[in-house]
A and B are shown apart, each in its own frame.
Chain A
Amino acid sequence: MENFTKIKEKIYRGGFTALAFSSLVFLAGIILLLLKESLPLFRHVRFSDFIFGRAWYPTASVPEWGIFPLIMASFWVTLGALFICVPLGVGSALYIHEIASAQQRVFLKPLIEILASIPSVVYGFFGMVVAAPFLQKAFGLPTGLCALTASIILGIMAIPTVCSLAEDALSCVPDSFREASYAVGANRWQTLMRVVLPAAGSGVSTAIILGMSRAIGETMTVLMVAGGAAIVPRSFLQPVRPMTSTIAAEMGEAVMGSLHYNALFSIGLVLFVITLVFNMIAEMVCKRFRLKLGIDR
């Protein structure tokens, strides 16, 4: 009987170990695939020309492989999204956690989190049908599908990420800090701005970085509303072609194993590195935050 228990224990142990390591296998597989499919490009194109080249003409008779316009497009759109999701996301987190009554809190946070469950294609649809025509009229543009539209929609999509994580960071700030602040005669606003927010600062930064990484990786929405012109943007009102939508739009037509095919994988690799760096920064900042508040891991 005792033996049987021991064997069972071993099976559980082995099973869970296998499960835990399987995600590592996927990670390794994806990285290997990205490298395998993207590296052949660099036998023909110099890496610096790929990153800093200003022309993306993959199907021209003399193809050009510069993804600088695509990188800049992703950068602009993400930056624009920040202007929407940071004030709205952090603001709603502050409201929910510090000002809202218990009854309001019960429905507000889940409601904002529902924003995250709307499929991105629906956001794209909303952008095409509502936001784009509105902006076209408002600014007198030739097309409403531009960086600004994409920024707005991406910003809205990132709100739940930012809000939810920022709210978690605020709830990590011990009530004793608030009490201490009130006890020396600070009012609610001072307590919020000078004690609670700084104490939650790195946690809130983590929220913002993860919101950014959500925005930069988003594909369907930008494919639908960003306009798709592969030029280095000069203003938010121009159509742009971020990295993700380039891959999605062109993968169907690229011949497998062609240089175009390899180039699209290379874009994927660049994107992967960017998001990886974002997430690593977020992780580092988050660790510092926990140390600062004296919460041991």
Chain B
Amino acid sequence: MHEKMNAKMEAREINFYYGAVRALKNINMSITGNTVTAIIGPSGCGKSTFIRLLNRMHELVAGSRVEGHVYLDGKDILDPTIDAVDVRRSVGMVFQKPNPFPKTIFENISYGLTVNNVRDKDYIEAKVVESLKKAALWDEVKDRLKDNALRLSGGQQQRLCIARCLAVGPEVLLFDEPCASLDPISTGKIEELMLELKKNYTIVIVTHNMQQAARVSDTTGFFLMGELIEFGKTQDIFTAPKNKQTEAYITGRFG
């Protein structure tokens, strides 16, 4: 019960289906506030499916179906009476490939505000600056906010996408393999940023990179074929895994 009290997000009895295929089997996980939770596992194990469920992005996939509950501060966000738009404002997402809009840097950040009916120009401007600063991008782009965002480098684009998320004022940030298409230096910057953001946000990250999981996360969950095999403190998982399959995966014997 104590664990439940501290949980920012909590998945309970999650089963997920793509058509007849069961992609997630009976997942239970609680995510503590102001921590980084890493989700690892081989390709196709359901980790991306799981993270997308946490802000209802799974609904964009036709023919998918979910059973179970995901609580955010004790409120079930999978409840059909709750608007997915509201959920996504509280739980932001950064994707595998940086996906800025083909608009200016400024418009990219302000988009999330204007679609949520914020009209106050001064407020929007202040938010854009604040979000870029939080995403450690401000110094690099402050003189060219009117440039097309696609001119930024891959790493800058990914930080722009993080800033775009932050502008809407989320409490939880989901990262779906955010460094998969980035070079080591950009990756380092994103990881640094995550550790900084952890102070104010709760972070869940899917990653293929064991070292990354070990470096940035407090808690790690290992998925295999739709099941959560092991979930615990990152340190324990990487030094003394309880499960044979976890051990085999992190020591690189498969996956």
Contact = CB atoms under 8 A, between A and B. Distances in A.
Are A and B bound to each other?
Answer: yes
Interface of A: 101-102, 174, 176-187, 190, 194-195, 198-199, 292-294
Contacts of B164: 180, 184
A174 B150 CA distance: 14
B193 to A, nearest CB: 18
A179 B174 CA distance: 13
Nearest to B114: A194
B95 interface: yes
Given A184-B165, A184-B168, A179 B89 contact: no
A179 B57 CA distance: 8
Contacts of B99: 174, 176-177, 179-180
B102 interface: yes
A187 B85 contact: yes
Contacts, number: 72
28 contacts: A176-B97, A176-B99, A177-B99, A178-B60, A180-B95, A180-B164, A181-B101, A182-B60, A183-B57, A183-B92, A183-B93, A184-B89, A184-B115, A184-B164, A184-B167, A184-B168, A185-B85, A185-B89, A186-B111, A186-B112, A186-B115, A190-B115, A195-B101, A198-B103, A199-B101, A292-B102, A292-B150, A294-B102
Nearest to A195: B101
Given A184-B164, A194-B115, A199-B102, 4 more contacts: A102-B62, A177-B99, A180-B101, A186-B112
B26 interface: no
Contacts of A186: 85, 111-112, 115
Given A177-B101, A199-B102, A183 B165 contact: yes
Interface of B: 55, 57, 60, 62, 85-86, 88-89, 92-93, 95, 97, 99-103, 111-112, 115-116, 150, 161, 164-165, 167-168
B62 A101 contact: yes
A185 B112 contact: yes
Given A176-B95, A182-B57, A183-B57, A294 B150 contact: yes
A287 to B, nearest CB: 15
B62 A185 contact: no
Nearest to B89: A185
Nearest to A186: B115
A243 to B, nearest CB: 39
A179 B60 contact: yes
A184 B111 contact: yes
In the A-B complex, the 5 residue pairs with the closest CB atoms: A184-B112, A176-B99, A186-B115, A185-B89, A183-B93
A174 B97 CA distance: 11
A90 to B, nearest CB: 19
A182 B101 contact: no
Contacts of A174: 99
B98 to A, nearest CB: 9
A176 B86 CA distance: 20
Given A184-B164, A184-B168, A185-B168, A293 B88 contact: no
